Structure 1
Amino acid sequence: MSLPGLKGTEHIGFTVPDLEEADAFFTDVIGCVRIYELGPFAHERGDWMSKQLNVHPRSIMRKLYFYRCGIGPNFEVFQWEAADGQLPQPRNSDVGGHHLAFYVDDLDAAVAYLKSRNVRVLGEPVASANASAGQRWVYFLSPWGMQFELVSFPQGKAYEAGAPVTLWNPTRPAD
């Protein structure tokens, strides 16, 4: 059984400390296209914000930008003024920790490009093993510390050889 009508991931939403800094990073460095913006959005009374969005009822969503980033889900990027304060950026090991991965055709060229743009790349590209053999990856950080990853597996991954269902892959049509 599955969610009725499920087609895939339409967008990924996340909050940044400075929307204009994030906009410059996503458009000028990554190459995303900003499609539209909304905001501000707030409720001076009632509990709509807590009921609908699970935030403090007096929090203000200052602005959001929607981006198209190549093939795959869109990004909805928010800047909030949280009425009850904000937590620091979680690490992968923290509850709620996360990262976003971009598929690239040439990992080495993409790493060189990021470094030329003064983006902090963590370590060196790693060759995966076992089920992910054939893949190389490396992490990098946005200017505000959000974790991203570059991945590349132009010849596919080892698990695909006998898999009845494969993971979504931006280089080929859906199964």
Structure 2
Amino acid sequence: MLKLRQIHHIAIIASDYEVSKKFYCDVLGFELQSEVYRDARDSWMANLAINGHYQIELFSFPSPPARTSRPEACGLRHLAFSVDDIEASVAFLTTAGVECEPVRVDEHTGKKFTFFSDPDDLPLELYEID
């Protein structure tokens, strides 16, 4: 059996790199660990971290093709983040101009969750943990 240790990172290609970098860093609170321009690809790449742990590679590429992400398209369905207080998190996002779906309760775990989108309409989830 393959012995995976953990998810290393998630790669996201942004249609507007600066807008997405600002969203992930200034709104969601990721820390910009490093950033490099790759001249041969005309592409920026940023490494973003939560609590010091590298999680997201954010890319820019010239004219990336659009990808259908909803409803229920094949592929990555959404990216979920755990939070301690979902109501406070939703209030913060709303104040930052981010629209969230109504908070729901997971019928299997009893935990609260909601969805919202990044600047490219990538579906993101907040999931309350104890």
Please report the TM-score for the alignment, with normalisation by the length of structure 1: 0.67
Q: Shift of the alpha carbon at 1:98?
A: 2.4
Unaligned runs of 5+ in 2: none
The 5 A counterparts of 1:9-158 are 9-42=7-40, 60-70=41-51, 74-81=55-62, 86-91=65-70, 93-122=72-101, 124-130=102-108, 133-154=109-130
Q: Compute the RMSD of aligned alpha carbons.
A: 1.9
Q: Shift of the alpha carbon at 1:70?
A: 2.9
Indicate the structure with greater strand content.
2
Q: Deviations over 1:57-109 (max 9, x none)?
A: xxx35111000023765100111125xx6123522511224211110000111
Unaligned runs of 5+ in 1: 43-59, 155-175
Q: Partner residue of 1:2?
A: 2
Distance 1:72 1:92, change over 3 A: farther
Kept in 2: contact 1:61–1:81 (CA 8 A): yes
* Secondary structure of residue in 2 paired with 1:39: strand
Kept in 2: contact 1:34–1:66 (CA 8 A): yes
Distance 1:28 1:98, change over 3 A: same
- Separation in structure 2 between the aligned mates of residue 106 and residue 72 of structure 1, nearest angstrom: 21
- Separation in structure 2 between the aligned mates of residue 28 and residue 72 of structure 1, nearest angstrom: 17
* Secondary structure of residue in 2 paired with 1:150: strand
- Separation in structure 2 between the aligned mates of residue 64 and residue 107 of structure 1, nearest angstrom: 30
Distance 1:143 1:68, change over 3 A: same
* Secondary structure of residue in 1 paired with 2:104: strand
- Separation in structure 1 between the aligned mates of residue 78 and residue 39 of structure 2, nearest angstrom: 27
Distance 1:17 1:100, change over 3 A: same
Distance 1:71 1:89, change over 3 A: farther
User: How many percent identity over aligned positions?
Assistant: 25
